[in-house]
Amino acid sequence: MTIDELREEIDRIDSELLRIFNRRASLALEIGQIKKERGLPVYDPKREKIIFERMKRDNPGPLDDGAIVRLFERVIDESRRLERIMTHRDETTGKEER
């Protein structure tokens, strides 16, 4: 393959990642709403540990396990941030509570 063809493939993968990241965030928001209704905390360290262990176990490379964990830490951090923002919005105005 040429560099241009490889870059086109990367662009396709990036678009798919974007779709997947946003789908994951939507699911995290649904979980955040359930947590809010049940009075549960946004942060669940046990769940995160399970995710990291599973990702390391399933990692075929070439990224090493540390890189995979760092990537998923970032994805999870952004999902948690989004959950906090959305669950702290005032239900009547749609604005963030202070």
The structural domains of the chain, ordered by start, are 3-87 (1.20.59.10)
Q: Counting every residue, how long is the chain?
A: 98
* Residue 95 pLDDT: 55
pTM higher than 0.85 for the full model?
A: no
Q: Which residue has the higher pLDDT, 35 or 87?
A: 35
Percent of the chain predicted with pLDDT > 70: 90
Query: What per-residue confidence (pLDDT) applies to 17?
Result: 98
Q: What does the pLDDT read at residue 36?
A: 87
Average pLDDT over residues 45-70: 97
In the predicted structure, residue 30 carries a pLDDT above the cut 80: yes
Chain position carrying tokens 């396990």: 65
CA dihedral angle for residue 40, residue 46, residue 51, residue 55, rounded to 10 degrees: 170
Place of tokens 């399970």: 50
Chain mean position to CA 95: 23
Q: Decide: 2 and 53 in contact? Cβ < 8 Å.
A: no
